[in-house]
Structures are given as structure tokens and as C-alpha cells.
Structure 1
């Protein structure tokens, strides 16, 4: 991970819309999604728009928007989870998205809004663990990741890792206890203490910092469901 992302010159600007989409299912998020679509797909008739909620996200809510039975043009609306901005720098996320898009490694980013972003739906299948054990598929994944790692997104700067800064920030967010007695009991019994985790991080930092491994652009959220496989395209 590096601490400076430079968007290539000539990359299309991404509109930032002053719209907030409710996280709650029902009329709330439909109304917000339709507000976005009035800007992104003004020719769509609101009463004909179908919203499909995807349930595979861990921290975000993802909604697919399309008209009728036609799924060739689907707008994805991603609503950020509550307080996830404490973990994710949203401005840097958008920059990274634009860099990857410029190199053909990400879908088109249509816009951002107050609590999320909209982007192109990519046809294909979100993978499961058994898929990534398939040699034909994991070789494709490896090639795509290698392509991402070779992207120079620092405008001549020598990139420096922000791994330890991020890890330190995550540690500062670790709770010391939970109000729910059952949850708190599991937390204290199953999770190593902050002191143990800090010692492990210090051990990792000492050894990894001396390996001389190059700092490259990374995905950093490589869950199986974040990998889309299109069998026709390969």
C-alpha cells in the first residue's frame, strides 16, 4: 500500500452529487436511488425502475438498478456502512477507483454522493472459495493482480508503505468492552488482548520492513465476492 495516489491526466471527472441515500430498506433507499438515477439515467422512467438488493457485502449495502428485464445497463449504488469512514479513506478510495478504471482494471465510476458511490455493473459471477481453487480461474486472478501491482500511480514519487499507519489507526478503534454481556464474554475469551496484538504487530513491522520488498498498488479488499468472473471473456 502506498501513501500517494495520482489520477492519470485526462481521466474523466467524477461528479459529486449532494444526495444522501437511506441505509434502510424500503421507500427510503428507493427514493434516494431514484434521485441519483435522475442525474445518471434521466431517460429512465422512475415507475419502471427495478431495484435489486445484493446481500454479499459485509460493510456496505449494494443495490442494482435497471429498467424492465434488461440487465445490459445496470447502475450499482453502493451505500457506505455506518462509520466505515473511520476505517476507509473515501477520497483515496475514489482516486484508486479512477486509477484502476484508467488502466482497464475496474468498471466505470459514474458519480459519488454523500454516503456512497455509483458505478457500472460488470457482467459475470461473484466468486466463492471453491471457484478460486480452480487453476483456470486462480491463474486469471493472479494475472490481473500482477497487472494492478505494475500500475505506477505516484507521478514520479517513490511510494512509501502506509501499512503501519493504517494498522495503528485500526488499533486505536479497538473497543475495550461491549455492553452486551454475552458478546463481551466472547470478546474477552476469544480475541487476543491489545497488548498481545501490539506485540505481534511490532514483530511483523521489524521483520517485514527489512525485506526490501517493493511498495506497489494493492487491492486491499480481496474477498472472493469482490472478484467477478466472466466465463465468456475469460
Structure 2
């Protein structure tokens, strides 16, 4: 796979920014804790599916203590439509206990503290650091991994490798919003089975060949 030319990276992101100046996550939340909960639940699940469950859960319990008071069985009932819900419910309650006992019920603002929470890996921590606290992190999910490799923007064999290359190659002015643009590009245009090259507004800069023709 050829790497995207360095001189193409700035117009690549400028084009994405012009099309979507203020990108946001598609997960629904109204607090940092709700965001953490939603991201924890979203592993191997769709944002649509998570939102459907949290619309029922959050009006009932949307703080660490409220979820602890809810208990495991009732929490499982609310999220049972989400894949791996039993494991996620246990991790979420353990996370709530740590937040209450060690962080005064607040979501910590450091990667180390976030990754110490059950069920919170590097990707989840990066989402919280970026979306909630405005840090220029790259949460590399399957979409970003695919886009980074397919376009030649940040080719790598592992999510961590792609993440590090993105942090090196994405211009600073675009870094805070970059992961949103790349996720949306991968989710709706640069799809896994058949990239919709004919709909892509950054196709000029992409190194993927051959480009997929319109059906």
C-alpha cells in the first residue's frame, strides 16, 4: 500500500472539515459519565443499538451510585439487547464502584486512570479523552483502522501502530476532530466490503486502487 503524500494530508482534512465543520459522536449522552458508559457498552455493538438501550437506562440511572443502586440483574435487563451484555454489565458496575470509591464519583481525566477501569481499554479511554475533555487523541476502531490503511494516510498492522502514525501525520489544526471524520468516512463511505469511492469527497487524495465504480 502506497502512503498518502504528505502534501495531500492537509487538503484531505480540509475537505472533510468543510463538509462537516463540527463533527460529533453518534453516541447519545448528556454527561461525561454517560459518555463513558455508552462507549464501554459500544464494544462490538453499533451506536444505534447502544443508544436504544441507554435511552431507557439513563433516565433511571445515569450516575455511578445510581447504577450501583440499580444492581446487576436490573442493569442487565436494560442492556440485554447489546452484545456481550453480561460481561459489560459486570465491568460497568465494577467501574462505578471504583469511580465512587477512588474518584468521588467523577470520571478521571487521565489515560492511566481511565485504563485502570474494568472494561475500559485504550480505544475507550481515547474516546473519553477526546470527546469529553478535548484532547487530540485517536480512538482507532475498525473503521479508522481500515481508512488509515486503505487511503495510505496511516498504514499499520495494529490499531496502536495506526494510532501513532495518525498522531504524527494529522496536522495539529485537525487533530481534535480527526477521529470523528475518519470514523464517519469509514462507516458511511469507505465501507469494508465495497468502498463507495464514487461518493467520496476525498477520493482525489486516496491511494486505494482500483477505485470502486458507481453501480
**TM-score band, normalised by the shorter chain?**
under 0.3
Q: Answer 1 or 2: which has greater helix percent.
A: 2
Q: What TM-score, normalized by structure 2, do the two folds share?
A: 0.26
Q: What TM-score, normalized by structure 1, do the two folds share?
A: 0.24
